[in-house]
Structure 1
Amino acid sequence: MRRILVVGAGQSGLQLALGLQAKGYEVTLMSNRTADEIRTGRVMSTQCMFDSALRHERDLQLNFWERQAPRIQGLGVSVAAPDGGRAVDWLGRLKGYAQSVDQRVKMAGWLDVFVQRGGQLVIHGASVADLDYFSRAYELVLVAAGKGELVSMFDRDEARSPYDSPQRALAVAYVHGLAPRPEHPDTDAVRCNLVPGVGELFVMPTLTNSGRADILFWEGLPGGPLDVFRGVNDPGEHLELTLELMEKFVPWEYARATKVELTDAGGTLAGRYAPVVRKPIGRLPGGGLVLGVADVVVANDPITGQGSNAAAKCAASYLSSILMHGDKPFDEAWMKATFDKYWFTTGKPVTQWTNAMLGAPPEHVLNLIGAAGQYQRVADRFANGFDNPADFDAYFYDPEDTEDYLAEVAEAAEAVEVAEAGEAAEAAAGSSSAS
């Protein structure tokens, strides 16, 4: 058995450790917290995992909460108008349902399973010096802990990192008691509310320790009216501020949130970070090499909801590369090739799309979002781009591509209308002659 050390017990680290364990590798997992500490602690993130990411969990039979978690069947976009109403409002249908499971539930559960299956768990906040020592006992060290000292081993990739400061101030609240959208009361959906010049509010159904819940997630432009959560430590005050901002900027969402309450005292989170892409290989003081995983090396803003999705896809890609490598050494060339495979299939499309969404939308993107309210086909394609961001390359970034796509959609819709009108005329003529 090949010996592998995985540092970090988040989506990517645990999924990778459990996948390797299932394939007969001797895996040691380092976590800075126990399962109980994770389970009873503060929320760590928002997360909505789309179909292709969920399939990776199913492949490893790790989808323990699939029956309990809400099945998210759509993704809607609303754009606030200056008068307080909605200039745009539509719902795209997902081909395969998405789901959100509070990472306190999932990571604690997966950590317990890893130990139950015989994995070696080390509870320790690892330092670079620790890894330098431990690396001599392992054939491969994977770093999946995206914060703290360990990240310093991975150099910033300047060519792929256009930002050097946070692009959004983030504020999260997990709540019970949110009413459904009245126009789609029976459809669980992610709701993306865009407030031009201010920021975004995302609302998504989730499963938490206390059952079904919803996540209210503000992304505010730094220095703007939503950037007011710094220093707010009281959970009740955090929720009150969240609701005040909803009432002011997205009143249609506030209308269904008047009776919400926090799921628990740990159900709020606020912070900010600069999106960055790092070089994938870290060099230890003793000369050993470690490979960065998921947001250790590709950390995007959560505006496109790709964090847990990209982490799952990275873990699946790395697992495949490890299995295919057999008993050959995990050298620098293999590490680079392993990251490149993930980057070009997932990391690059996600980064390109996320960075585009962080800026002020150009006219052709505004036209596209508006057209989605007129053509269900456009709304559905945009919604399913959250599952496959690479699809945006065909119609989102270049104004001519967008124009050609919308012209194609309009032409197809017109053809359908003409055909339906012809069928109606034939039916009317048949009815007349029969009488």
Structure 2
Amino acid sequence: MRKILIVGAGQSGLQLALGLQSRGYEVTLMSSRTADEIRTGRVMSTQVMFATALQIERDLQLNFWESQTAPIEGIGVSVGGPEGTRAIDWMGRPHGYAQSVDQRVKMAGWMETFAQRGGQVVIHGAAVSDLDYFSRTYDLVMVAAGKGELVSMFGRDASRSKFDAPQRALSVSYVHGLERRAEHPDLDPLYCNILPGIGELFVMPTLTTSGRADIVFLAGVPGGEFDVFGGVKDPALHLSLTLELMERHTPWEYARATKAELTDVNGTLAGRFAPTVRKPIGQLPGGGLVLGVADVVVANDPITGQGSNGAAKCAASYLASIVEHGDREFDGAWMQSAFDRYWQGARHGVRWTEAMLVPPAQHVVDMLAAGVEHPSIGDRFVNAFDDPSDLEHYFFDAAKMETYLAEVAAASGSNGS
């Protein structure tokens, strides 16, 4: 039986551990926190999972909370105009619904399941020296902890990383008491509010430790009006600042947030990081090699929702590569090939994220505006959250976009609408 060590108990680490465990591998999971510490700790992300990622969880029979979690069956896009107005506003429909389960709920539950099924959980904050020792006793060591000392083993890939500094100041609040928008009283959509020069405001339903809730997520241009959470430690002040910014810049969202209150004292998060692609192989002082997983090697800004989805896809891709490799050595060549296989899909999300972090090109503005009149444009665009590869066909090139928009307009005219 092949022995595998996974360091990190997030979406990718736990999904990979449970997937390998179900296929008969002897898996050890190393986490810096216990399941209870995760469950009672601070929120970690917004984690909206789209259709492909949700299906991966279903296939592994890990969708424990699906029936309890609100389905996100629409994705609304608004672009702010002058004095709190909306210059653009429409709703796109994804091919399959999305969902968000608080990672405190999911990761704690998955860790307990892994242990109940016979997996070994080691509660220890791993250092490079620890991995140097473990690399001699395991067939494969994978690092799925995207922060801290271990990440420094994986060098930045400058050829695949457009930015070397944070492009957004991030702020998250988990709240109860948020009402539905009047125009969509029967839906629990994900709303994307784009505020040129300021940043973005996302609002989405989630399942948290206290039941159904909503996430209010601000992504601010550094130094701009949304970049005010850096020194805020008090959760109540965090929410108060969030509501003030909503009232000033997105009054249509603030109107339903007047009764909002935090789900718990750990229901806020703020920070920033530079979106980065790293080399997938880390070399240990003793010569051993370790493979980076998900955010360790492809860390996208959350503006396009690729984080947890990319983690799920990375874990699924690595699982397939491991199983297909059989009893052969997990050497550097195999590690590179496993990453390259994942990168074939991940590169599309990276390119899209980079494009959304800079002021949009005119042809992108034209597309967003056309979505008001032509719902099919909005439907196609919002499905990029699930499959960004489709954007290669029209989104990045002005000429392709012009052709696409003309085709949609012509088809609409021929239909008499």
TM bin, normalised by shorter chain, reads over 0.9
d(CA) in 1 for partners of 2:225, 2:259: 24
Instruction: Name the counterpart of 1:415.
Output: 414
Alignment of 1:419-434 (within 5 A): none
Alignment of 1:68-107 (within 5 A): 68-107=68-107
Instruction: Name the counterpart of 2:271.
Output: 271
d(CA) in 2 for partners of 1:367, 1:149: 44
- Runs of 4 or more above 6 Å deviation: none
Q: Secondary structure at the match of 2:213?
A: strand
Is residue 146 of structure 2 the alignment partner of residue 158 of structure 1? no
Is residue 326 of structure 2 the alignment partner of residue 359 of structure 1? no
Instruction: Name the counterpart of 1:132.
Output: 132
What is the CA-CA distance between 1:94 and the residue it aligns to?
Answer: 1.2
Instruction: Name the counterpart of 2:312.
Output: 312
d(CA) in 2 for partners of 1:111, 1:25: 16
What is the CA-CA distance between 1:95 and the residue it aligns to?
Answer: 1.0
Is residue 286 of structure 2 the alignment partner of residue 296 of structure 1? no
Alignment of 1:106-121 (within 5 A): 106-121=106-121
What is the CA-CA distance between 1:83 and the residue it aligns to?
Answer: 2.7
Instruction: Name the counterpart of 1:232.
Output: 232
Instruction: Name the counterpart of 1:32.
Output: 32
Of all paired residues, the percent bearing the same amino acid is: 69
Amino acid paired to 2:292: G
d(CA) in 2 for partners of 1:272, 1:126: 23
Instruction: Name the counterpart of 2:10.
Output: 10
Is residue 255 of structure 2 the alignment partner of residue 255 of structure 1? yes
Q: Secondary structure at the match of 2:395?
A: coil
Q: What is the TM-score of this pair, normalised by structure 1?
A: 0.95
d(CA) in 2 for partners of 1:385, 1:160: 20
What is the CA-CA distance between 1:187 and the residue it aligns to?
Answer: 1.1
Amino acid paired to 1:314: C
Amino acid paired to 1:226: F
Q: Secondary structure at the match of 2:365?
A: helix
Residues 14-69 of structure 1, C-alpha deviations (whole Å, 9 max, x = no match): 00000000000000000000000000000011110000000110010000000001
Amino acid paired to 1:409: V
Q: Secondary structure at the match of 1:95?
A: coil
d(CA) in 2 for partners of 1:158, 1:385: 25
Residues 388-413 of structure 1, C-alpha deviations (whole Å, 9 max, x = no match): 00011101000001000001101110
d(CA) in 2 for partners of 1:396, 1:183: 28
Instruction: Name the counterpart of 2:205.
Output: 205
Instruction: Name the counterpart of 1:66.
Output: 66
Instruction: Name the counterpart of 2:333.
Output: 333
* Corresponding residue pairs, total: 417
Runs of 5+ consecutive residues of structure 2 not aligned to the other structure: none
Amino acid paired to 1:138: Y
d(CA) in 1 for partners of 2:127, 2:263: 34
d(CA) in 2 for partners of 1:171, 1:315: 27
Alignment of 1:396-411 (within 5 A): 396-411=395-410
Residues 162-215 of structure 1, C-alpha deviations (whole Å, 9 max, x = no match): 111100000000000111011111011100001110000000000000000000
Is residue 175 of structure 2 the alignment partner of residue 175 of structure 1? yes
d(CA) in 1 for partners of 2:80, 2:121: 48
d(CA) in 2 for partners of 1:414, 1:226: 42
Instruction: Name the counterpart of 1:424.
Output: none
d(CA) in 2 for partners of 1:214, 1:417: 40
d(CA) in 1 for partners of 2:151, 2:138: 20
Instruction: Name the counterpart of 1:377.
Output: 376
Instruction: Name the counterpart of 1:421.
Output: none
Instruction: Name the counterpart of 1:220.
Output: 220
Residues 298-329 of structure 1, C-alpha deviations (whole Å, 9 max, x = no match): 00100001100000000000000000001111
Instruction: Name the counterpart of 1:350.
Output: 349
What is the CA-CA distance between 1:287 and the residue it aligns to?
Answer: 0.2
d(CA) in 2 for partners of 1:16, 1:82: 47
d(CA) in 2 for partners of 1:84, 1:123: 49
What is the CA-CA distance between 1:373 and the residue it aligns to?
Answer: 1.0
Is residue 204 of structure 2 the alignment partner of residue 184 of structure 1? no
Query: Which structure: larger Rg?
Result: 1
Residues 137-186 of structure 1, C-alpha deviations (whole Å, 9 max, x = no match): 10000100000000010011011111111000000000001110111110
Q: Secondary structure at the match of 1:287?
A: coil
Q: Secondary structure at the match of 2:212?
A: strand
d(CA) in 2 for partners of 1:83, 1:48: 30
d(CA) in 2 for partners of 1:376, 1:226: 30
d(CA) in 1 for partners of 2:180, 2:89: 15
Alpha-carbon RMSD across the aligned residues, in angstroms, is 0.6
